[in-house]
Amino acid sequence: MESKKSAIRQQADEIKPYQCKNLIVVLENPMDPKNIGSVIRNVNALGAEKIYIVDSGKTLPDEWEKIRERKTIYKVSVSASKWTFVKRFDSTEQCLEHLKKKRFTSIVTSPHVKGKDNFILHETNYTHPKLAVWFGNESRGISDLAVESSDFCVSIPMFGMIESLNLATTTGIVLYEITKQRRAYQAKYKRANRGPKA
Ligand SMILES: C[S@@+](CC[C@H](N)C(=O)[O-])C[C@H]1O[C@@H](n2cnc3c(N)ncnc32)[C@H](O)[C@@H]1O
């Protein structure tokens, strides 16, 4: 038992420098618990810090411990829900207010051109000190309120006959690009702070 604990501690210490602090994934009214589980898995595997879930239909319990114990969520996340911070909000307004208080910049994702500024995923910069990345509902997409409250909208280019990618798939692709940029930035910043070798 003791050695299992220390193996977990060791792994946690090893991944710590690669974690992206102040990177939050926001799911706006997801319908499918399997998608929630997959997103938790992606968030954990790619090293984002937290997930916020806007749950206007009150389908989830308030407490994080209870959310992560939901059978489907736990199973589909392959137990990543044990290691991932999840917080729920009653509405988009409440979540935006919370992020504003904590000085987060919000950006939204959509297969469509939305809001004042739009970028192709790999053609912009994501090294904002505090960043919240919003993903929309499986059928309605992202809300106008989230779009209006965000700095810009990001799209993954698509070349098929269908309108959009699956929600969880999108989080994997988007987080891959964002965490890659943030890790490179963190490493550069750390090197610069270390100063020249004596
Ligand atoms: C299944 S899609 C929703 C489709 C919806 N009909 C719409 O108009 O957005 C669920 C979410 O996945 C994300 N998404 C799906 N495809 C995307 C793409 N090509 N680029 C960026 N985000 C995408 C968005 O956050 C979207 O709100």
Pocket lining: 31 vs ligand 1, CB cutoff 6 Å: no
* CA of 169 relative to ligand 1 center, distance in Å: 10
Instruction: Return the residue whose CA atom lies nearest to atom 25 of ligand 1.
Output: 135
Backbone phi and psi for residue 50, each to the nearest 5 degrees, phi listed first: -145, 165
* CA of 89 relative to ligand 1 center, distance in Å: 21
Q: Where are the domains of the chain?
A: 20-157+164-192
pLDDT at 194: 74
Find out whether 127 and 119 touch, Cβ atoms under 8 Å: no
* Both tokens assigned to 188: 């550069």
pLDDT tens for the chain, 198 residues long, are 667 678 888 888 888 888 999 999 999 999 999 999 999 999 999 999 999 999 999 999 988 888 888 889 989 998 888 889 999 999 999 999 999 999 999 999 999 999 999 999 999 999 999 999 999 999 999 999 999 999 999 999 999 999 999 999 999 999 999 999 999 999 888 777 776 655
Q: Each residue of 92-136: pLDDT tens digit? A: 999 999 999 999 999 999 999 999 999 999 999 999 999 999 999
CATH code: domain 20-157+164-192 is 3.40.1280.10
Give the atom of ligand 1 at the shortest distance from the alpha carbon of 158.
19
Instruction: Return the residue whose CA atom lies nearest to atom 7 of ligand 1.
Output: 141
For residue 80, give the 3-state DSSP assignment. Answer: helix
